[in-house]
């Protein structure tokens, strides 16, 4: 029983270390939308497949949340660019009509 607790503690430490490495890597090189989306898909597949410990599942969940935030930021930025382009083209069309 003590061995099981030791193994669980070691896995928890490994999961925490992997999470810290992932966070450091994320801070060093920001992910593009497609990279974040693809990694998020893999995280979801891993969680759905099961077979992971509670600690591993929690680490995957936390990574998934981070990746979802990255995707959301990219999508929000794309939406803002589209809105600005539409406003600019609508404004330009409206200005041209008033001069004639």
Query: Which tens digit of pLDDT belongs to each residue from 45-71?
Result: 999 999 999 999 999 999 999 999 999
In whole angstroms, what separates CA 16 from the centre of its chain?
18
Encoded tokens for 42: 């893999």
In 3D, which of 3, 4, 73 has the Cα closest to residue 33? 73
Beta-carbon neighbour count of residue 36 at 10 Å? 21
Q: Looking at the predicted structure, is the pLDDT value of residue 28 above 70?
A: no
The residue among 93 and 9 whose pLDDT is bigger is 93
Per-chain mean pLDDT for the chain: 79
Q: How many Cβ atoms are within 10 Å of 97's Cβ, its own excluded? A: 8
């Amino acid at each position: 029983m003590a061995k099981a607790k030791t193994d669980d503690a070691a896995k928890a430490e490994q999961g925490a270390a992997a999470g810290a490495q992932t966070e450091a890597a994320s801070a060093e090189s920001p992910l593009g939308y497609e990279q974040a989306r693809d990694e998020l898909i893999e995280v979801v597949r891993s969680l759905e497949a099961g077979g992971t410990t509670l600690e591993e599942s929690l680490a995957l969940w936390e990574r998934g949340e981070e990746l979802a935030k990255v995707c959301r930021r990219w999508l929000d930025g794309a939406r803002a660019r589209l809105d600005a382009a539409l406003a600019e083209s609508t404004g330009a069309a409206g200005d041209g009509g008033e001069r004639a």
